[in-house]
A and B are shown apart, each in its own frame.
Chain A
Amino acid sequence: MELLDRYLNAVRFWLPPAQQDDIIAELGDDIRTQIEEREATLGRTLDDDDVAAILKQRGHPMLMASRYLPQRSLIGPVLYPAYVVVLRIVLLWVMVPVFVLIVGPIVIATAENPTIGAVQTVWNLAMAEVFTLGVVTLVFAILERRPLRELETWDPRKLPYVPKTTPSLDAGKPIPRATAIADFILGVVFTGVWLRLAWYRAGFDLDVLHVTLAPVWNVAYGAFLLTCLGGIALGWTSLVWPSWIRLRSTIRIVIDAVTVGAAGVLASAGTWWMLTSPKISAADLAQAAHWASVGMKIALAAVAIVSLIDVFQEARRFFGARQGSAK
């Protein structure tokens, strides 16, 4: 019976002290009775393998003990939906934007090495998320253990009103979450890159070539930053209000308008840079400047055309959404 004793001892470990003796005595008697009955059927004493088979059929000691305990949960089914909503809001909609838009840029801008600063920001975000998760869980676990008087004293007349949605903003297919997240992340990345690498730079050194930027770029800095921030706003609003098609279209049209305007200002300048190099001949530099200018004209034209097409599409979506809602 050594196996049985070991089994009972293992079950005992998981039981509340006040009930251990009682439950183990009854469980032990039940298993012993089963063993005796089996021995009577087989006409022999059970060996360890037979007893092990019986015990295995009874279940793991922890599982066996759990059946004697009341069902317990850290957060019960009543509060669980609220717990998930709060976690989603705090971890996703508060912590991430705070770290991406405020903490991250400060850490990266003040770090000696921007890459280390970025890694440090991600690590800090992860730690803050874990800490917040623990605090929110603890608060809900405490709430779970106090009587929820609100569930008995509630008044249907105090329920929040259904918001009066603006039909023109609600019409149309909701924006996929992946699109919204992509817009947001791209906006943040472009903003960071623009501020870090290009913000009001006088020029660039490319190997043996020095590029001095023309004054007209001063207009482009602000305009491009505006479009990047617009991308963040686009992603954010699409995440929070995925059905607000007209809001999204409006933001996109504004971004496109700023882009076309900046492209127009740049195109009107005609000269965008001056190339100098101690190792390249003046003729070769002139040739390089010519082809760079051709490339710039093509790029500006492409940007303007793509933006205008987008304006057209978004305008159609904007008015289509309004017509759709009027039905």
Chain B
Amino acid sequence: MHSRKMNPELFENLRLELRRGCLSVAVMVQLRVERYGYTLRKSLADAGLEVDEGTLYPLLRRLESQGLLVSEWREENKRNKRFYRLSPDGERILGQLLDEWQGINGSINRIVQGE
């Protein structure tokens, strides 16, 4: 038997890898309702998905550049804020992604239960 001391970084890397795709889906779901960055982060945290701002804002920009989100600068509480929401293309892709996610989730459950 080959035994090796568990590297704590290994779990962290795999966890981040697992989260990366899920995070895009979670952000898109939350942006069915218009939000700005700070409230989006809080809403994700309230749902149990903590995201640091260094990850969230670049992700928002990427999704926007891919046409999945739209944004506009608007004043709220006497300060300019950038509000994001899902674009029509984003809505369509999100539906497909959720179907895919359900499929993967079901497959993983069947594989785990079949062990």
Contact = CB atoms under 8 A, between A and B. Distances in A.
Pair from one complex: yes
Given A30-B53, A58-B53, A67 B58 contact: yes
Interface in B63-103: 73, 79-82
A93 interface: no
B37 A30 contact: yes
B37 A67 contact: no
A57 to B, nearest CB: 9
A22 B57 CA distance: 11
B55 interface: yes
B54 interface: yes
Contacts of A23: 57, 61
Given A34-B38, A68-B58, A68-B61, A29 B82 contact: yes
Size category of the A interface is 10 to 19
Interface string B13-51: 000000000000000000000001110000000000000
A217 B81 CA distance: 93
Given A32-B79, A68-B61, A26 B54 contact: no
- Residue of B37, B53, B55, B79 ringed by the most chain A CB atoms within 10 A: B53
Size category of the B interface is 10 to 19
Nearest to B36: A29
A23 B80 CA distance: 13
Contact of B80 (A25, A34, A58, A59): A25
A27 interface: yes
Interface of B: 36-38, 53-55, 57-58, 61, 73, 79-82
Given A29-B37, A67-B58, A68-B61, 7 more contacts: A23-B57, A25-B80, A25-B82, A26-B57, A27-B57, A30-B57, A67-B54
The 5 A-B pairs with the shortest beta carbon distances in the complex, nearest first, are: A33-B38, A67-B54, A67-B58, A68-B58, A26-B82
